[in-house]
Amino acid sequence: MPAVDLATSPLRELNGALHALSPDTNATHWTVTNPRGQHNIAVGLDAPVEIEVEGHVGYYCAGMNKQARVTVRGNAGQGLAENMMSGRVHVTGDASQAAGASGNGGLLVIDGNASARCGISMKGIDIVVKGSVGHLSAFMAQAGNLVVLGDAGEALGDSIYEARLYVRGSVASLGADCIEKPLRDEHKAELKRLLDEAGIDGVDVSEFKRYGSARTLYHFHIDNVGSY
């Protein structure tokens, strides 16, 4: 099991070694210590490996992730798992702005809270936040699921397309073209699957509300000009 101490090893060397891994590598479990809030840790991975980061990370940790399972035992800065394609990213603390932005696939789990714009422009990623999310979360969200066990800030789902939002707590306000929708049996099953994948037990899925697009802004209409 490779162990890298970022107090003594350059981050560039760590990322270079991770990028050089082949799909059939035997070095499948890495431990990274002393991250000290550095940016771009474990970005651009494309191998079925597990990375454990012991401490807080800065911007864009696990960005563009494919296949890998990345665990951060601490807090994460802006752009966590940005443009994630597949795999799993798990943060045991809080995440700053734009967590999971533009994510195309995979699962992002945040044990704490996520700041503003969580899931902005998401395109297929699944995001589960055990705490609350800030304002403008799921802005222009196109596909995927955002599950929030806590509360959501203002303008949730502003200009949303076809992503599905599930919030257990209160919502400060809904953004343009975002409305509450019925929570049918198929949505409860989907929600249960996401909670199971995130390792969350004992939660009644009927306590959630579902939000999505009213589909009134798909095409420009002069009557809606004030909403664009």
Residue ranges of domains in the chain: 3-227
Per the prediction, the chain carries an average pLDDT of: 95
Q: Residues near 222 by Cβ (< 8 Å), separated by ≥ 6?
A: none
pLDDT tens sequence across 85-119: 999 999 999 999 999 999 999 999 999 999 999 99
User: Where is pLDDT greater, at 157 or 222?
Assistant: 157
pLDDT digits (tens, 9 = 90+) for 41-76: 999 999 999 999 999 999 999 999 999 999 999 999
Question: Which strands sit side by side in the sheet containing 29-33, from one edge to the other?
Answer: 3-5, 29-33, 50-54, 69-72, 88-91, 107-110, 123-129, 143-148, 164-167, 209-213, 178-181
- What was the pLDDT predicted at 219? 65
Residue closest to 120 by CA, chosen among 69, 84, 66: 84
Question: pLDDT class for 1, splitting at 50, 70, 90?
Answer: confident
Q: Is pLDDT of 173 > 90?
A: yes
Q: Where are the alpha helices (DSSP H) in 25-179?
A: none
CATH number for the domain whose boundaries are 3-227: 2.160.20.60
Residue 216 — very low, low, confident or very high, per pLDDT cuts 50/70/90? confident
Task: Please give the pLDDT value at position 220.
Answer: 59
Q: Does the global pTM surpass 0.75?
A: yes
Segment 117-148, tens digit of pLDDT: 999 999 999 999 999 999 999 999 999 999 99
